[in-house]
Structure 1
């Protein structure tokens, strides 16, 4: 038989649900399912607002703390480095205790550290708070994606995955709008105050929305058996060890996949406003407008598509052409990213849908954490000239650096995606929880008779 990567080049004939089934599934969603998806989407949106608050204010932060751009981007790197720690902590808490309260606590911590960022006085304080923020931020993706997707019918998960992931682009867009309006008038601190308020609102929403039916079923069964909390924790640790023993190679692949995707997004987003201001001579206002246009492209819809438009990203000098390049490149980046939430959820060991995707995603983030510094350092050593007000000025060449960087990463992502596994249409909601005996095995399926339905959750919530 041909190797997997050769077989993956040939599209498989799969039994797909007709469009009518998707429409019916949407109509049959309960308010709890809508609310659980919405709360997960909102949490992921807050993640983006909080993160890009720094990227959009690099110039202002440089002035505030009297630091070079490369020094300010250290804060971005620290945030990304520490996110994997948060992914482990909150992922384990979520797979062990449920989706609801770990995500609420996670969002509240993000809120606290956003407020802390707004009140720092020195650059070391700024770096310290952003590092702590990285830990809190690290748990959001795994918890929000598992909360949103595991409560939906299989027919809707692909569509929902794309909508969920675009929450990140919406967050970036909102951060850019805040930067364009409030920051321009009140200074850089206001973007962190605003982000903290939005994140607190997301925490309140998640606290109101009921727990996942998957965990309600598991907890009811364990309660009926008389299993103590301590015993469930021992089972959880044992099943985690079992999962790692059987899926260590899958863990490595998922990290490589997420490394490529995170390099792709951070390489095209983190220093984009700085690139426009420095290499193209744009004002901060125009750079923000171009960022907003780029994120509109991201929200509208893949990696091959992205690669085609890299020249439009770097070669023009006009606002209109560069904005179009941003639109189409981000269209490609986020189009590819839209598949990732459900791809990782279906690929994951079923009982570890918060820990596995979250840790893989954030370790990939950690590896790609130097994206901004790589680009900033490369641009500092590669110069070009621009004409501003009739004067020729030597500036850092972010355009060439980003073109090379994004092109190489796009090629890597295409290859790693082709050679990887897929588990399309997985019914992971029927699997045992990680704190149940045998939960670490892929075949630990729960009988249909013992499933807690979303209608039952609706009735219990309304009672």
Structure 2
């Protein structure tokens, strides 16, 4: 892997000149391509609903099981720890067998475990279910991103990446709305949030069931059928190519894990304990904390979509750098005020930066990945980063136990955890780390990864191209006249030969 420094932050002129106009390409997208993009987006949205069901239910879970905030956040940590296993399992299945069925079964597994989480009676049962749940959740992102992006034209992948990634924010938003409206109105309380999330995941599996396999796998199967000859042991080829890929790209793997560790600390450090921070350190009601969370996620959606679109012109890494700098600028607004309006504005701005940077990640990782391993490589890098950052909520909870502040509760001073200071320090340090790692990393802006062989074909690790990637050169007026004149001369010559 070659290191690229600041002079390489903007994509090369040649890359940008070959891109077709945005609206021209947009008009060429078929219904099936839109539907596949939607199914990937919906799957990632379900993942977020399922994950943040715990974050939004911390107070209710404390009452249910008689546990501290630190104990409840153990469930979040265990879920994040086990997601790496799911990323490896479902990523390999997807690169080996195709995008469709691994994603369907992944969503069904998530739905079953989310349903089970709503029936647990003890805290040990809850931890066990959420640990298994992490395996199911771990596979979703890599499969969803590859399903959503690889079937779209390269000129749309930047903004599509932003939309796809912000399924995460939309999922958090939907979970917050369900928690705000449905949970208080049902006798089962917090359990209704988990059961509703389970139903949405089953709906996403049904949508994917109705759609065809990804075009790159259909093309590979058609090529196999046309080739004839003795059958090839695809699994043996897949394992051989995987070994070759790891040997060739081990440094890139380390880089991707470091990058995703920083990004996951940014995300989980700014979101997982945020509702608890507002209720415990700012004395907000659960209702107001949920509303502030909703406002923050509106900023996340706006930031992700804007950054995805911007990255198509500025490049992936420069767009990330811009949004990470925004994070640093808005940390004071996020933690210092005490009024609802100011803190809600801070939540909007900080999430605009955090999820704006994140909006570039699906396409950025897909482009720098070995092309044949677009589900496994990004998914595993993402979830290993998740595993390293899994203690984010517990780090903040422990920091809150050590750092205290005094607030007024019903006119009386009360000592409470100072989650504002803890989160501000954590996010500031992590933002600086992400900035450095992003700047020194690689970029493959505008990669046509869909033209390469897939993982069970010989030569996949060598990144062999099976479709011509060279643009057809434009014919100038002079060249056209010369060719026309040449055709006339040839025609006269053939006529004379006949005579």
Greater radius of gyration (CA): 2
Report the Cα distance in structure 1 between the residues aligned to 2:30 and 2:270, rounded to whole angstroms: 38
Q: Is the partner of 2:391 in helix, strand or coil?
A: helix
Equivalent residue, structure 2, for 1:162: 162
Cα pair distance change 1:422/1:181, threshold 3 Å: same
Corresponding residue for residue 252 of structure 2? 250
Q: Which runs of 5+ in 2 are unaligned?
A: 304-322, 470-499
Structure 2 counterparts to residues 273-352 of structure 1, below 5 A? 273-301=275-303, 302-352=323-373
Structure 2 residue matching 1:393: 3-state secondary structure: strand
RMSD: 1.7
Instruction: Please report how far the alpha carbon of residue 11 of structure 1 lies from its aligned counterpart in structure 2 after TM superposition.
Output: 6.8
Q: Residues 4 and 67 (structure 1 numbering): CA distance in 2 closer, same or farther, change over 3 Å?
A: same
Matches within 5 A, 1:174-189: 174-186=174-186, 187-189=189-191
For residues 310-459 of structure 1, what are the structure 2 equivalents within 5 Å?
310-442=331-463, 444-448=464-468
- SS at structure 2 position matched to 1:387: strand
Pick closer, same or farther for the CA change 1:328–1:221 going to 2, 3 Å. Answer: same
Change (3 A) 1:17 1:210: farther
The 1:10/1:159 distance shift into structure 2, 3 A limit, reads closer
Residue 220 of structure 1 and its aligned partner are, at CA, apart by 2.0
SS in 2 for 1:438: coil
| Contact 2:19-2:155 at 8 Å conserved across structures | no
CA contact (8 A) 2:368 2:444 kept: yes
Q: Offset at 1:292? A: 0.3
Asked if the contact 1:17–1:155 (Cα under 8 Å) also holds between the matched residues in 2, the reply is no
Deviations 1:102-134 (A, max 9, x none): 000000000000001000000000000000000
Long gaps (5+) in structure 1: 450-463
Aligned to 1:222: 224
1:12 CA drift (Å): 4.8
Seen in structure 2, the aligned counterparts of structure 1 residues 80 and 252 have a Cα distance that, compared at 3 Å, is same
1:79–1:3 Cα change, 3 Å: closer
Aligned equivalent of 1:104: 104
CA–CA separation in structure 1 for the residues paired with 2:179 and 2:159: 31
Superposed, which structure 2 residues align to 1:59-208 within 5 Å?
59-186=59-186, 187-208=189-210
CA contact (8 A) 2:452 2:467 kept: no
Cα offsets for 1:32-84 (capped at 9, x unmatched) = 10011000000000010000000001010011000000000000000000000
Contact 2:183–2:190 (CA<8 Å) still a contact in 1? Answer: yes
Task: Return the offset for 1:156.
Answer: 0.5
- 1:4 deviates by 3.1
Question: Take 2:454 and 2:36, find their aligned partners in 1: how far apart are those partners?
Answer: 18
For residues 171-227 of structure 1, give each alpha carbon's deviation from its aligned partner in whole angstroms, at most 9, with x where no partner exists: 000000001011122210000000001000000000101111100011222234457
Counterpart mapping for 1:48-59 below 5 A = 48-59=48-59
Q: CA deviation at 1:18?
A: 8.8
What secondary structure, in the 3-state scheme, does the structure 1 residue paired with 2:337 have? coil
SS of residue in 2 equivalent to 1:395? strand
Q: 1:134 to 1:246 in 2, by over 3 A?
A: same
Distance 1:341 1:229 in 2: 35
1:15 offset after TM fit, Å?
Answer: 3.5
Change over 3 Å in CA distance of 1:189–1:87 after alignment to 2: same
Q: Secondary structure at the match of 1:386?
A: strand
Q: So what's the TM-score if we normalise by structure 2? A: 0.87
